Amino acid sequence: MRILLLLTAFVAAQAQDGASGSNWPSYGGSSYFWRYSALDQINTANVKKLAPAWIFSTGDYVQGLQSTPVVVDGRMYLSTSRSQVFALDAATGRTIWQYKYPFPKSAGVNTQNRGVAVAQGKVFIGTYDDFLVAIDQKTGRELWKVATDDAAQCGCTITAAPLIANDKVIVGSSGGDRAFRGYLSAFNIKTGRLVWRFYTIPGPGEKGHETWKGDSWKFGGGAPWTTGSYDPALNMIYWGTGNAAADMYAGNRDPGGDAPNVNLYTGSILSLDADTGKLKWFYQVVPKDVWDYDAAFECVLVDHEFKGRMRKLLLQVHKGGYTFVLDRETGEFLNAFRIVDEETWVKGITEDGKLVGRNEPVPGKVVRVCPSAMGAKQWNHTSYSPRTSMLYIPVIELCADYTSVEQEAIEGASFGGGNFDFTQAIQQTAGKLAHIDGYDIATGKRMWSVPQRNIILASMLATAGDLLFTGDPLGNFFALNARTGEKLWSFQTGAGHRGSSISYMVNGRQYIATPTGMGGAVGTQISGLLEDGPMFRGGSTLVVFALPGDSK
């Protein structure tokens, strides 16, 4: 009985750590990246009454609104694609201040931004031209600004929200589809001084360097281009890395032999000491990636029973159509469960995590591969509910015809090593391009599945009201029953959904906020695949919902 009580207390404590409450204090809701709100004022019984409470237009319509708002003590902090930051009254939408970052001088600059971090009286943003900026949380005044790289030289940029770990703010960089060597950088929150930098590709003399052929490591990709997770109890950060470059051709980087890992640490999940940046463990999801299958997506940290014992789990949904389950203390592989209906890039994954029957692109030939390079899931995030023990996943059912081409690396230049054309998956049900699924994390069993007419590129949001929120490219924002998948409510916002909705509470009233406005490379790619026409709905507007006053 005592053991049962201790386990119950352990799970309850971690559930509190992973959930957000009145605030939505960080990009993933918490550093555990559950994207789960413990608020239940809005629930399955009253969600049909949900209505717009206020709307805010950023005025920055380039690349849509792909960010996640952060809410702390009644203030909301919102970033735009061109690195503008707004502080808003979270109850009314009134602008408190705006931080105006200089717009790019060239129209060809990659301007995407997915969010900010807030800590110790500062708001942090990574910019399109590779600066990390600290802004005074009260006034919007710039406090410090440091360069992380030369964007013109590396062809890289910062698109993700920073991560806070103790007294450090940590950022990754995009650029893995170019001739670029990825890295993570940690800066002192107070001063902006660089504390440590971890390169995702080992240099000469470092362990793992032997997994690269010749000098290919210098431009081998591995960009950690999304936001990581942090476990304060273990003082460990977890970050996924992107594809190896060139994306679809490995002839210049494969050292040969039968080593289990090739092109470290690309296509991998990394655990680093938060204070020093030293590697604690790694798990390479895809050795010698030739499909553009990033392992860069969010790492969901959950303490849960697994095969009869409590484990500190890490779950990551991979572009190849599997959810990988690891022990986050040791990096031990525990499970991989399949989420796609059609899969041809491998024949399967063994019980110890080995890929079986690789179907690789071949130079000079067209090879059909499922899922496509877009992935079975894009960067838009999953969510986890401790009430249901389910992970909620937006799944894409697309294949691609790959053509592999040998290519010389030129620093900072595009380095794809081929190209691909989308094709429909044979097993698409009734012409559906996607589905939203609820998976039991302990068993990998799919508990329910809801087919979608169009690809879902917005994140999932789970709440204690047993609701699951997301939106589609045509502007429909909707709520499902988190236990069954039944659609309970929908609202046409007027613009497509690519960002991440959140929930928070001010003065006793719960709100649901969703960014609207499609954008980004993937948003453009899917425009011809939409069932309702070859276009998506752009914009850059935050729509915030609440129950009418007499319904709370």
The residues annotated with a catalytic role in the active site are 292
Distance CA 332, CA 352 (A): 9
Buried b (16+ CB within 10 A) or exposed e, 129-154: bbbbbbbebeebeebbebebbebeeb
Distance CA 174, CA 224 (A): 7
- What tokens does 57 get? 């237009």
88: left (phi over 0), alpha (psi -120 to 50) or beta: beta
- What tokens does 100 get? 């105006």
Distance CA 407, CA 62 (A): 31
Query: Under a CB-based contact definition with an 8 Å cutoff, are residues 297 and 324 in contact?
Result: no
What number of helices (H) and strands (E) belong to the chain? 3, 40
Query: Under a CB-based contact definition with an 8 Å cutoff, are residues 301 and 33 in contact?
Result: yes
Q: Respond yes or no on whether the N-terminal peptide bond of residue 363 is cis (omega within 30° of 0).
A: no
- 457: CB partners within 8 A, 6+ apart: 378, 380, 394, 473, 496, 497, 498, 518, 522, 523, 526
- What tokens does 204 get? 């000469």
DSSP symbols for 10-27? HHHHHHHHH-B-S-B-ST
Q: Respond yes or no on whether the N-terminal peptide bond of residue 87 is cis (omega within 30° of 0).
A: no
Distance CA 127, CA 134 (A): 11
- 275: CB partners within 8 A, 6+ apart: 166, 168, 235
Query: Under a CB-based contact definition with an 8 Å cutoff, are residues 513 and 502 in contact?
Result: yes
Give the distance, in angstroms, between the CA of residue 491 and the centroid of all CA atoms in the same chain.
25
- What tokens does 4 get? 């049962």
Distance CA 10, CA 13 (A): 5
